[in-house]
Amino acid sequence: MGYWFKVLLGTVAAASVLVTGLLIVSRLSSEPSLGRKLVLALGIARPAVIAHRGASYLAPEETRPAYLLARELGADYLEVDIQRTKDGVLIALHDDDLSRTTNVADVFPGREKDTVNTFTFAELQQLDAGSWFNRQASDRARDSFRGLRILRLEDLIDIAETGSHRPGLYIETKAALRFPGIEQQLVTTLTARGWIGHIESAGPARVIFQSFKPESLARFKILAPEVPRLLLIDEVMLSEAGWESLLKTASEIGMGIGTWGYRWAFGPQWSVKDAPTRYVMTWPRYTGQAHRAGVFVHSWTIDDRWEMWMVTLNGVDGIFTNRAELAMVAYSRSEPIDLDKLWSRIGY
């Protein structure tokens, strides 16, 4: 064995020891045992697989097939953005307007940039909420996506209550300040359907409320104090308020905090103007601080296997993901998935 080969072996061995040591330190500093106790006390699965807008990599976001597929995959939660129509109907939709995910420009020319609350539910039911996906994701397109309709909250509850799995609901009040009283309306609806009103003794908490608006979570704390609440944070909030302030707010009005993953920190959607510094928040020291403050951590939006591994290593208690089918396998919650069989089962 030559001298330089021995040197190479020694270098590799030293590097391996260093990396292993760093991984152990990272794992310990994130206080995963504290996080485990926090979510266990709340009845939340760990690591929680939260189907972000449903199985939205494989189907149009926040539509029936996206949620049906996420349910059949075994996701712990169906994540949904709730807004309200002009006539008071709670609907599942992410964007402020309808231009990205519907044919609103064709059906209601000139109104494509109007906010959702200026439309009645009957008007929204005239829109095609699925064909855009076939155009943008042609490798995942399906004829059955054409003509999909925007869902009501009640439709989503019906989906979650049937099928081979019974996921919880992870509900975001989107643009909450635009919809006065939406928190009370949500609590009333969920109570009437038997989804909230008590803490289950076993299994995942059935509902988690989330919002980027602390005011919305503060209302939920009064209206339904037993339901877990998570403060979502983004780069602008961090730039303006700082981590310590946001963590304090999360611990006072909520039970969890929603940090972002690594791809977002370096992605083109980052708000460079409002937050020129690219913060990476899913590091062990931040996760550990959250756990020590009595706050669980769910990270968004984690769509690659390597990132799922990294954030879990760094102590997060669950992930929002567009790729529930990948997360279920990555976390050894499922065998390799036969998607054709699942599509057949749900009728799409």
Residue numbers annotated as active site: 52, 94
DSSP state of 5: H
72 phi, psi to nearest 5 deg: -70, -25
Query: Which of helix, strand or coil describes residue 41?
Result: helix
CB-hemisphere CA count at 13 Å for 68? Answer: 16
303 phi, psi to nearest 5 deg: -120, 0
Measure the CA–CA gap between 77 and 197, rounded to whole angstroms: 18
DSSP state of 136: H
Long-range residue pairs from 176-179, CB within 8 A, at least 24 positions apart, any chain = 176/211, 176/213, 176/215, 176/216, 177/213, 177/215, 177/216, 178/83, 178/115, 178/117, 179/83, 179/84, 179/117
Q: Is the dihedral of CA 90, 91, 96, 102 positive or negative?
A: negative
Long-range residue pairs from 329-335, CB within 8 A, at least 24 positions apart, any chain = 330/305, 331/47, 331/49, 333/49, 333/74, 334/73, 334/74
Count H helices and E strands in the chain, helices first: 16, 9
**Token pair of 39, please?**
């979510």
**Token pair of 202, please?**
């076993």
129's CB contacts (< 8 A; 6+ apart) are 60, 63, 101, 102, 148, 149, 150
In angstroms, the Cα distances linking 323 to 50, 56, 230, 306 are 9, 7, 21, 13
